[in-house]
Every structure is written in structure tokens, then in C-alpha cells.
């Protein structure tokens, strides 16, 4: 297996991880919203379910921190990729192949950053 194929395998897992963390944040936010709505519909006081609400908010904050860590790993991997001589434009990933999301992950959002996925 050549460098590009190896890098693509890692990139696929990276993008899947980024997507999974984003999805977890969305689902946790929806869960928090449903708890607040349920409390209101049942005319319960703000203290009802407060521990669960707080813990879910803490979960969302932890997921945001996880997202930052994955983004940092992404940047570190991109630096390593350059050191081993693999050009950004050669790295593709499974998400978005054949769609307008793009097959190539060389589209830059800012210097040194690449667009992982768009929705």
C-alpha cells in the first residue's frame, strides 16, 4: 500500500470521527431540548429534572471539548502528511464522493485547515 492509500484510510476514519462527534452534539442538544419541552408541557417547576438537564449540558460541553481535540488531531495529522510528502489534493475520503460536497479534501477554509464535511 502506498503513502496516499494509507493517508486516505486514516483520513476516512478522521472524517468519520469528526462526523460522529458532531452527530453526538446534535443528538445531545435535541435530548436537552426535549427534556426542557417536556418539563414545560407537564407544567413542572424549573427544578424538576434539573440534575438531568445539568448533566446533559455538561455532556454537550464535553463533546465540544472532544470536538476541539479531534480538530487538533486533524491539524497534527495534516502537518505530518506534509512532512511525509503527501499533497492535500491527493487525499480523498468516502464522505461526499460523487456529490457536490467534493471528492477532494484540499478545499481550504483557512490556511492550514481543510473542510472535513459539509451538510
Instruction: List C-alpha distances in Å: 79 to 86, 91, 108.
Output: 10, 13, 14
Global model pTM greater than 0.75: no
Block residue for cell numbers 476514519: 13
How confident is the model at residue 70, as a pLDDT? 97
Please enumerate in sequence order all residues whose Cβ is within 8 A of that of 102, keeping only pairs 6 or more positions apart, or say none: 96, 115
Q: Give the gyration radius of the chain's Cα atoms.
A: 19
Which regions of the chain does DSSP assign to beta strands (E)? Answer: 108-110, 113-114
Extents of the domains making up the chain: 3-90
3 state SS of 102: coil
Between CA 54 and CA 47 the distance in angstroms is 11
Q: Would you give per-residue pLDDT tens digits along the chain (119 residues)?
A: 788 889 999 999 999 999 999 999 999 999 999 999 999 999 999 999 999 999 999 999 999 999 999 999 999 999 999 899 887 766 765 444 433 343 333 333 444 455 555 43
How confident is the model at residue 110, as a pLDDT? 41
Amino acid at each position: 500500500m502506498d503513502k496516499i492509500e494509507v493517508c486516505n484510510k486514516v483520513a476516512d476514519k478522521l472524517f468519520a470521527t469528526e462526523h460522529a462527534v458532531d452527530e453526538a452534539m446534535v443528538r445531545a442538544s435535541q435530548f436537552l431540548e426535549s427534556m426542557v419541552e417536556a418539563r414545560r408541557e407537564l407544567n413542572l417547576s424549573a427544578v424538576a429534572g434539573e440534575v438531568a438537564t445539568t448533566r446533559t449540558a455538561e455532556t454537550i460541553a464535553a463533546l465540544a471539548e472532544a470536538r476541539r481535540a479531534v480538530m487538533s488531531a486533524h491539524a497534527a495529522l495534516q502537518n505530518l502528511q506534509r512532512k511525509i510528502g503527501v499533497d492535500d489534493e491527493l487525499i480523498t475520503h468516502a464522505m461526499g464522493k460523487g456529490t457536490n460536497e467534493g471528492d477532494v479534501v484540499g478545499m481550504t477554509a483557512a490556511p492550514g485547515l481543510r473542510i472535513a464535511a459539509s451538510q
